[in-house]
């Protein structure tokens, strides 16, 4: 690993993105199979078995790792795709499995006890008792924490339970409790938690009407953009709706998390790894964000000032936030 303090875990939605992440300085690329077993099951994304094997070989040859996300929840009576994903990722030499479902965690622990298991953010484990359960019952080595905790709360968890923590550092925010969102299911009939698709592209429509760009998801109008206004992807939780005669973002405005300036505090809290979100993003996004965070992590590890890179052009809505990490309103 290039830093002894923070592991840089980076998105790979395609083989070219995986290579870009490794070449830009990622310690780890995380990826998923091209099916419903991972939470980014979009057309044109993810890996066939031969592609993932090649990606693992590419990473290992350069001293990096690959974690495989199998982080959706199997439907009753339909376990085969998920069991096969665990079997194949293990056989290919993946460095860890990112899992959320209790039954799948048990399957992996019983069948492949030596395979490293990480708890996905989709499990929504945000307190020490919940995390302790997954560690004790299934031998989980690391938990990916939901984006709802302050740095002080993360530090408190680390004091209560010895386990590796991984936190999100950059990328799109999810305003729901991960693993429990039903809005996309309501609008499209396809579940983020089981099918791995939030706001699937097959249900997205853009229409021009009266000098406005209208974004729709299924039968719902999500947003109306004036000429020259930046248009976002239509997800219900980030839609702009009319309420009390005023159009506004009822849940949260489109904005990206960016904690580059908070790395020393995260290190002091005992965080083990930083995760960049964006498996649905392209090679340029991956290369630029990974390169920027590689420099920042190395500077923080050496006690040097962090030269924050401007990444607004890669941010959702063109704006950044530190999210819950330093919130003072609670």
Q: What is the pLDDT of residues 183-200, one digit of tens each?
A: 788 888 887 788 878 888
Tell me the helices (H) and strands (E) count for the chain, helix number first: 9, 15
147-180 tens-digit pLDDT: 889 999 999 999 999 999 999 999 877 765 676 6
DSSP of 86-118? HHHHHHHT-SEEEE--HHHHHHHHHH-TTS-EE
- Per-residue pLDDT, 142: 98
Distances (CA, A) of 53 to 17, 71, 201, 270: 15, 19, 27, 32
**Domain 7-173+255-321 coded CATH 3.50.50.60:** no
Partner residues linked to 70 by β-bridges: 99
Helix (H, G, I), strand (E, B) or coil at 52: helix
Query: What residue segments make up the domains of the chain, in order of their start?
Result: 7-173+255-321, 183-249
Mean pLDDT of 310-330: 71
206-262 tens-digit pLDDT: 999 888 999 999 888 888 888 878 777 888 877 887 778 887 776 666 678 889 999
Helix (H, G, I), strand (E, B) or coil at 314: helix
Mean pLDDT of 26-53: 95
Which pTM value belongs to this model? 0.89
Task: Evaluate if residue 2 carries a pLDDT over 50.
Answer: no
Task: Evaluate if residue 62 carries a pLDDT over 70.
Answer: yes
Rounded Cα distance between 50 and 309, Å, is: 36
CA 217 to chain centre: 22
State phi, psi for 275 to the nearest 5 degrees. -115, 125
- Per-residue pLDDT, 299: 94
Partner residues linked to 143 by β-bridges: 119, 165
> 84-103 b/e with 16+ CB inside 10 Å = b?
ebbebbbebebbbbbbbbee
Comparing 254 with 301, which gets the higher pLDDT?
A: 301
């Amino acid at each position: 690993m290039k830093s002894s303090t923070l592991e840089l875990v980076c998105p790979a939605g395609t083989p070219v993105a995986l290579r870009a992440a490794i070449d830009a300085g990622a310690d780890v690329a995380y990826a998923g199979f091209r099916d419903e077993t991972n939470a980014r099951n979009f057309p044109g994304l993810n890996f066939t078995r031969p592609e993932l094997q090649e990606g693992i070989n590419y990473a290992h040859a350069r001293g990096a790792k690959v974690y495989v996300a199998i982080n959706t929840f199997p439907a009753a009576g339909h376990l085969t795709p998920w069991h096969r994903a665990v079997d194949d990722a293990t056989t290919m030499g993946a460095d860890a499995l990112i899992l959320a479902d209790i039954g799948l965690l048990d399957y992996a622990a019983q069948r492949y006890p030596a395979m490293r298991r990480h708890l996905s953010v989709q499990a929504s484990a945000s307190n020490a008792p919940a995390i302790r359960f997954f560690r004790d019952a299934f031998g989980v080595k690391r938990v990916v924490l939901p984006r709802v905790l302050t740095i002080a709360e993360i530090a408190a968890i680390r004091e209560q339970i010895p386990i590796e923590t991984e936190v999100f550092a950059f990328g799109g925010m999810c305003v729901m409790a991960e693993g429990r969102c039903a809005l996309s299911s309501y609008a499209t009939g396809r579940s983020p938690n089981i099918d791995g698709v939030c706001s699937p592209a097959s249900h997205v429509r853009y229409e021009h009407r009266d000098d406005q760009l209208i974004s729709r998801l299924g039968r719902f109008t999500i947003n109306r953009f004036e000429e020259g206004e930046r248009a976002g992807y239509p997800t219900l939780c980030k839609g702009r709706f009319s309420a009390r005669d005023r159009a506004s973002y009822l849940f949260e405005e489109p904005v990206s998390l960016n904690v580059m300036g908070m790395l020393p505090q995260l290190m002091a809290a005992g965080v083990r790894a930083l995760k960049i979100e964006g498996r649905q993003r392209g090679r340029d996004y991956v290369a630029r964000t990974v390169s920027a965070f590689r420099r920042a992590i190395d500077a923080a590890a050496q006690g040097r000032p962090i030269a924050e890179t401007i990444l607004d052009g890669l941010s959702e809505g063109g704006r950044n936030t530190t999210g819950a990490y330093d919130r003072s309103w609670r």
